[in-house]
Amino acid sequence: MKIGFIGLGNMGAPMAANLAAAGHAVTGFDMADVSVEGVAMAGTAAEAASGAEVVITMLPNGQILRAVADQIIPAMSNGAALVDCSTVDVDSARAVADQATQAGLLAVDAPVSGGIGGAAAGTLTFMAGGSEAAFAKAAPLFEIMGQKAVHCGEAGAGQAAKICNNMILGVTMIATCEAFALADKLGLDRQKMFDVVSTSSGYSWTMNAYCPAPGVGPQSPADNGYQPGFAAELMLKDLRLSQQAADSADADTPMGQAAMALYEQFVEHENGLGQDFSAMLPRFEQRGRT
């Protein structure tokens, strides 16, 4: 398959490389001067999209996605698929899908979960929105780049699923870190705390698979000085998207709003920038009741 790939950063580059390694003809474009094994580089986004059966985008935000869509949609062939793997606001995802559909294209919004490691290993999870035909066109590529793809519904549904999932993740990580900090001050051994909670009603992904306490549970960024597996500023981005969506949908999300405010404080006014989102634990350790 002839594939255009726009956005070859930390996530896009290994995804494009995996497609090329699987035998697809991949032409890429990025604003930075990058090279990706097996990927031919184009001079513009429109050039990368021209003649492609599928164009994949992996971009920082909805504003950039809309701008890139304006460039590539006119260059794409009728019946081709635009597959956006960025994490952006639902409104932008739906607007670009509508623009693509009106131009005679198939459109899929398919944000991912799994981080840089999952992109490199080809084990990402895709949450996809779009028509059945659009999803079917993209599905073989999802199988190369990931281990699971869920068709969540019509345009925007993939972004909605990603945003809701990561709102839960942010809220749960804060609760897990708060609980460890409280356990410390109550004199409860962290390993004992983990042994109880990980097999009781407090069970969660943030406790059992990504424990924020160093030396407890499976290996996690906490065991590497909180070097980011998922950076705090990326969690803040997703929480902001969740609250933007909540405003648009008139949804009451007080825990999501509180989590966003805490990560804003941590990233923008404390030392959270460049740390893993689980570094909330040492933050709470250092703080008292007031």
- The set of residues, in sequence order, having a beta carbon less than 8 Å from that of 186 and lying 6+ positions away, is none
Answer for the pair 240, 260: CB distance below 8 angstroms, yes or no.
yes
Nearest 5°: CA angle at 285, between 281 and 290?
A: 115
Answer for the pair 206, 212: CB distance below 8 angstroms, yes or no.
yes
CB-based burial, 156-185: b 16+ in 10 Å, e otherwise: bbbbbbbbebbbbbbbbbbbbbebbbebbe
Task: Quote the CA–CA distance of 60 and 40 in Å, as a whole number.
Answer: 22
Task: Quote the CA–CA distance of 115 and 267 in Å, as a whole number.
Answer: 19
Exactly one of 162, 185, 192, 237 is catalytic; name it. 162
Secondary structure E strands in the chain: 2-6, 25-29, 40-41, 54-57, 81-84, 106-109, 112-113, 124-130, 146-153
Question: Pairing relation of β-strands 146-153 and 124-130?
Answer: parallel
- The set of residues, in sequence order, having a beta carbon less than 8 Å from that of 149 and lying 6+ positions away, is 110, 125, 126, 128, 135, 138, 139, 142, 143
Task: Quote the CA–CA distance of 49 and 92 in Å, as a whole number.
Answer: 20
Quick check: is 162 catalytic? yes
Which residues belong to the active site? 162
